[in-house]
Structure 1
Amino acid sequence: MRLGLHYWNFSTPAEPALLAPTLAETARVAEQAGVSAFTVMDHYFQMEFSTSAEEPMLEAYTTLGYLAAKTERMTLGVLVTGVMYRYPGLLAKIVTTLDVLSGGRARLGIGASWYEREQRALGVPVVPVKERFERLEETLQICRQMWSDDNGPFDGRHYQLAETLNVPAPLSRPYPPIMIGGGGEQRTLRLVARYADACNVFGNSLTEVAHKLDVLRGHCAAEDRDYDSIEKTVVVTRPPLTDVDAFVAEVAEYAALGVTEVQTMPDRHPVEFAQQLAEHRIPERLTDLG
């Protein structure tokens, strides 16, 4: 079992000049502690249901590019990229660039996007949910084509590309792993079965995660896809430092379902959070789960 750190809050420390060194130190300490993945959100406003939209927020891929130079081993990704925020061909190029500059450590986390306030505020088209999922599927097709030897055109309903040339190619082989985030049973998990190397669902409860994975298994059967070839990852909402033993026990239950990576979120100053993950040997204890 691997541990990922999901850095979702840029409000601590409050001074903007301290954001960069805090990010770098958090990532450095986490990596030394054995944290295997570092992720950020793809938002431009902070989510209103968690705090105020006016709280600080950094652009995701710029942030990961900075962290690529500050880390050596951790996988770097967005949990998850909003499909409406970047043209698919440019997104493939952005992730390729991150992969090359990080030495092959990028992964594409992607979802259908949902935060209409920031989209309307910043001029991003707001389209019906059905269209968002159509665009998500075409984006997955385009990224896979751009990460292949096929440099030809792509002619979709929503996106038309005259060429899918992408030089240099990613260092990751055969391409940066694709993770689709979300637990939607009719569309999201079906796209996981069809296109993804990994899924990510929210760990509200063991029962819910088990149900989502059962749904995914059914979609894999329908798509003639090997269910075991898809990595299962979960965002665990239980704070790991409040009761370390309880956190490890919960993660062990997810491991029994076939989950191989969990993400945790800082609930205090991020550097302190990473330091205490190390002090309590949490990444090491999760590795021992197998």
Structure 2
Amino acid sequence: MGKFKFGVNLWGAENREDWVAKCLRVEALGYDVISVPDHLGPGRNAPFPALTMAAAVTRRPRVGTLVSNVPFYNFALFAREVATTVKMTGDRLDLGLGSGHMKSEFDDAGLPWIPAGERIEYLAKSLDHLREHFSDEGITPPPLLLAGNSDGVLSLAARKADITGFSGLRQAPGKPPGTFQLDDAERMDERVAFFRSHANGRNPELNLLVQRVVVTDDRRAAAESWLAEAPDGLDVDQLLETPQLLFGTVDEIVRQLHERRERYGFSYVTVFQPMLETFAPIVKELSGQ
């Protein structure tokens, strides 16, 4: 079981000065990884230029995509982007890849929305192209993070990834593409067990993407607030045990993360940009453990 590692997923910045300030703040608070998502929309950064800047202005954190939406890209052009970023970041890049899950973004990009199985197959083929390009360029491949929730992505990650990312989200049945619901604790047990059953003795690092952190003396009230905002079929007691939600005092959240590392193997925990400051006391408490 690995020591705790913490990352923050930064969504964007108003300008260069804002981005530099955010990256320096992440480093000062003790986080280990600065990651950038690969989404379209106002204020969203292109991942690789942003990560190159993040590495240039910081000294310690690694940088990474969480995650690159591989079906957006041509294999050869994507491989060039990745290889250049490996060099420009001084080998501090963690390459996070996924198969895409937002139909609206494919529509906005003018790209066809292909079935999930075909998107996962495209993701798998991209790994071969990347490996060949790294070899041709004489570059050591960066650590590979594969993230998702489906059988296809998790079985691929079990075979190929250095880090496996668990989103704990699944497509809501009968809802439009891109409408998600949380996996509860038991479903996360099943997903992790499925992953391990395909790993053939491999032991990649496991990453948990946390959806919300609330530091509070009243955990139940925080769960009730989530339920009011995002009803998805779970009750309050289930939400309190859901791995992707962290509600409680700092000490309670520290205990939750120890329990979730023991139960699931999650030692690498990533929070979203709005939780950067809220989660910082937990990072301080668990650093090095």
User: What's the TM-score once normalised by structure 1's chain length?
Assistant: 0.75
Aligned to 1:48: none
Counterpart mapping for 1:78-227 below 5 A: 78-148=65-135, 165-166=136-137, 169-170=138-139, 173=140, 175-185=141-151, 187-203=152-168, 204=182, 205-220=184-199, 225-227=200-202
User: How far apart, CA to CA, are the structure 2 residues paired with 1:207 and 1:21?
Assistant: 44
Q: 2:260 aligns with which of 238, 251, 254?
A: 254
User: How far apart, CA to CA, are the structure 2 residues paired with 1:103 and 1:240?
Assistant: 35
> Which residues of structure 2 form unaligned runs of 5+?
169-181, 217-248
User: How far apart, CA to CA, are the structure 1 residues paired with 2:250 and 2:16?
Assistant: 29
Aligned to 2:219: none
Closer, same or farther: CA 177–240 of 1 in aligned 2, 3 Å: farther
Aligned to 2:272: 265
Aligned-residue offset at 1:200: 0.3
Aligned-residue offset at 1:251: 1.4
Percent identity of the aligned residues?
26
Structure 1 residue identity aligned to 2:102: Y
Structure 1 residue identity aligned to 2:58: T
SS in 2 for 1:262: strand
Aligned-residue offset at 1:277: 4.9
Which string of whole-angstrom CA distances, capped at 9 and with x for unpartnered residues, describes residues 100-128 of structure 1?
11111101111111222222222223322
Closer, same or farther: CA 188–277 of 1 in aligned 2, 3 Å: closer
RMSD of the TM alignment (CA)?
2.1
Q: Which moved more, 1:175-184 or 1:254-263?
A: 254-263
> Which residues of structure 1 form unaligned runs of 5+?
46-54, 149-164
User: How far apart, CA to CA, are the structure 2 residues paired with 1:123 and 1:250?
Assistant: 43
Contact 2:158-2:164 within 8 A present in 1 as well: no
SS in 2 for 1:127: coil
Q: 2:27 aligns with which of 31, 41, 45?
A: 31
Structure 2 residue identity aligned to 1:266: Q
Aligned-residue offset at 1:241: 4.3
Aligned to 1:2: 5
Which string of whole-angstrom CA distances, capped at 9 and with x for unpartnered residues, describes residues 243-267 of structure 1?
3223222211222132220001133
Aligned-residue offset at 1:240: 5.4
SS in 1 for 2:206: strand
User: How far apart, CA to CA, are the structure 2 residues paired with 1:237 and 1:215?
Assistant: 22
Which string of whole-angstrom CA distances, capped at 9 and with x for unpartnered residues, describes residues 49-81 of structure 1?
xxxxxx422212221122121112211111111
Which string of whole-angstrom CA distances, capped at 9 and with x for unpartnered residues, describes residues 169-219 of structure 1?
33xx4x10111111112x111101221111101255443333221111111
Structure 2 residue identity aligned to 1:192: A
SS in 2 for 1:176: coil
User: How far apart, CA to CA, are the structure 1 residues paired with 2:34 and 2:74?
Assistant: 24
Structure 2 residue identity aligned to 1:34: G
Closer, same or farther: CA 136–260 of 1 in aligned 2, 3 Å: same
Structure 1 residue identity aligned to 2:286: L
User: How far apart, CA to CA, are the structure 2 residues paired with 1:106 and 1:183?
Assistant: 23
Q: 2:39 aligns with which of 22, 38, 43?
A: 43
Contact 2:64-2:96 within 8 A present in 1 as well: yes
Aligned-residue offset at 1:43: 0.7
Aligned to 1:234: 208
Which string of whole-angstrom CA distances, capped at 9 and with x for unpartnered residues, describes residues 9-63 of structure 1?
x4xx7xx3xx332221121122122200011110112xxxxxxxxx422212221
Aligned to 2:284: 284
Structure 1 residue identity aligned to 2:7: G
Closer, same or farther: CA 206–227 of 1 in aligned 2, 3 Å: farther
Closer, same or farther: CA 145–241 of 1 in aligned 2, 3 Å: farther
User: How far apart, CA to CA, are the structure 2 residues paired with 1:211 and 1:199?
Assistant: 15
User: What's the TM-score once normalised by structure 2's chain length?
Assistant: 0.75
Closer, same or farther: CA 241–147 of 1 in aligned 2, 3 Å: farther
SS in 2 for 1:43: coil
Aligned to 2:239: none
Contact 2:207-2:269 within 8 A present in 1 as well: yes
